Structure 1
């Protein structure tokens, strides 16, 4: 694996793209200090140029390399959750390229926990821009094979295989630009855990139109399989299955199965939020290869532990709550 890390370091320094594992999802990495390298990420993903990318660093000692006017709350959160699945939005240093920030004066910073990428970052010394390694808007990758399925070897020179991702959904994003911290994207660190560390409540902004800055994961449509995905309650999905009788369907649920028929594939998902998060993207990706007419997903419990999963499913669904 050392030779792979050596190759990854050489490629990154040469301005090429590398697939990297994190505890959340796999990232498509480039040297964040090279605007032309970062531009290759946008070209490979089909990502809008004004959509910022997160810069990954080895730890809190590098915060000042990328951000200015860092508030006490940022240091508290970095102490508590780094390395880990938490991204901090801060005012950027003047040298940080607008190619990274989507033209904004803020930058998203994270120290990933995956040991392979943590070592890569320690040896690299700088910051690595790394949004999820998938075509823009598609289901995020949680294995190296998922990245191979998305990109040719011509666009991504190397993929570091770090196994399946432990968390399985993207990082929590907290903005520390204004007078109070704002939760922009729920993820691997729970809102309640953040509030416990800070000692005060954190507002949750759920859509791009309400946010004062652009950041990953706020678009209404994102994380979507190419197969039509319908989400709703048990009764709504039962009605959808009846309405689509004769079609090739997959039905995902955490409780008792919907009435069986000869064409539906029933998949029992974990009733634990952490375990559900670990496999939901891989499950949707697998179902995308099955030639289905639709995926019907019975939404899991509407409880705090499931906030990040509900966020991803809401954005991934082609039709929500009223599937027919």
Structure 2
């Protein structure tokens, strides 16, 4: 099929495709999602097929308002209402217990819970409202590959597989939303993102579990990114843990005698001379810009077919750095450069 690209001014055309059971990628402040009518089982099945996504990997339901959540979820707790007031619209996804048979198993992975998000993107809110339905929205990429942060990234992976893309430029955050499980006895972060545990705890005034990012091979994950390989380019990624490790890492890179990629901040790139076989990609000046550019950098080197290995800079594992390191560790398969 032809994949049409729509600007926000043509959102009604994109919404008509969603309403007709077609797939349309949409922008958020985090990454681009692959949208389908969350109440249309046939459309939801197409999402898994287009992405090559395992069917037990549940989908996030994107909504334009809290009333839509209340149609499907059991009564919201006081904590949920506080968090909605504090962080919606924004990069926080929350998992709620569902009313019986509220959503199809294809959306929930067969669970009695579902994840909901109200994205901070005016074009996508307009899309949901015009389509008159909540939309599922996993990242709009081939399953397992780096998430897309531009419409061009989506087109690279899904051209001819989906009906359209709503193009609102590059995303602002660059890593997927925080996923907070509110379906159990204690709030738990299943995927770190821009909304940190500390920020959540300040709103609900109780501890949040944070080391809940993985499930076993036979378990059904409650959220994306907990079970299957994610964010990986074709090249092998090596994480450089400390700024002081870069001279040794670059010396090692020079000895490999194959094309190498280097993803680091401007300060690291300025302080170190890159070997002739290394191509640089700037992560900007800090963890905010690095999070925004991480997937773009991984995708850049994916398109450079001669690149065999990538050295990537680590950040401290707290705040937004926890989200950045979660994605980087998965893209590297937990592989670190050792001095």
1:127-276 → structure 2 map (5 Å cutoff) = 127-153=134-160, 155-204=161-210, 205-209=212-216, 213-219=221-227, 221-234=229-242, 238-244=247-253, 245=255, 246-254=257-265, 255-257=267-269, 258-276=272-290
Checking the alignment, whether the CA contact within 8 Å between 1:232 and 1:320 is kept in structure 2 is: no
CA contact (8 A) 1:219 1:315 kept: no
Note the residue ranges of structure 2 that are not aligned, 5 or more in a row. 1-6
* Per-residue Cα deviation, 1:58-88 (whole angstroms, up to 9, x for no partner): 0212221121142211111111111111101
- Cα distance, 1:237 vs structure 2: 5.5
> How far off is 1:189 after superposition?
1.2
Conserved? CA contact 1:60–1:82, under 8 Å: no
Q: Could you tell me which of 58, 67, 70 is aligned with 1:61? A: 67
Cα displacement (A) at 1:267: 3.5
In the TM superposition, residue 262 of structure 1 has moved relative to its aligned partner by 1.6
Distance in 1 of aligned mates of 2:280 and 2:170: 24
Range that drifts further, 26-35 or 297-306? 297-306
Gap runs ≥5 in structure 1: none
Task: Give the length in aligned residue pairs.
Answer: 323
User: Runs (4+) of structure 1 moved beyond 6 Å?
Assistant: none
For residues 204-227 of structure 1, the C-alpha deviation after alignment (integer angstroms, 9 at most, x for no partner) is 112124998531121363111112
**Alpha carbons 2:28, 2:119 under 8 Å: kept:** yes
Partners of 1:56 and 1:201 in 2: CA distance? 26
Selected match of 2:22 from 16, 20, 24:
16
Give TM-score scaled by structure 2 length.
0.89
Q: Would the alpha carbon gap of residues 270 and 15 (structure 1) be closer, same or farther in structure 2, given more than 3 Å must change?
A: same
Matched with 2:104 is 97
Matches within 5 A, 1:118-133: 118-133=125-140
| Partners of 2:32 and 2:49 in 1: CA distance | 18
1:304 to 319, 323, 336: 319
**C-alpha distance in structure 2 between counterparts of 1:209 and 1:98, whole Å:** 20
Q: What secondary structure, in the 3-state scheme, does the structure 2 residue paired with 1:295 have?
A: strand
1:112 aligns with 2:127: no
The answer to whether the 8 A contact 1:32-1:100 is kept is yes
> In the alignment, is residue 43 of structure 1 matched against residue 58 of structure 2?
no
- 1:300: Cα distance to partner? 2.0
Tell me the distance in 1 between the aligned counterparts of 2:103 and 2:282. 46
Is 1:288 the equivalent of 2:302? yes
Q: Distance in 2 between matches of 1:171 and 1:36?
A: 26
Map Cα deviations across residues 152-175 of structure 1 (whole Å, 9 max, x no partner): 23x211111111101111000000
Equivalent residue of 1:11, what SS?
A: helix
Is the CA contact 1:230–1:294 (under 8 Å) kept in the aligned structure 2? yes
Q: Over aligned residue pairs, what C-alpha RMSD do you find?
A: 2.1
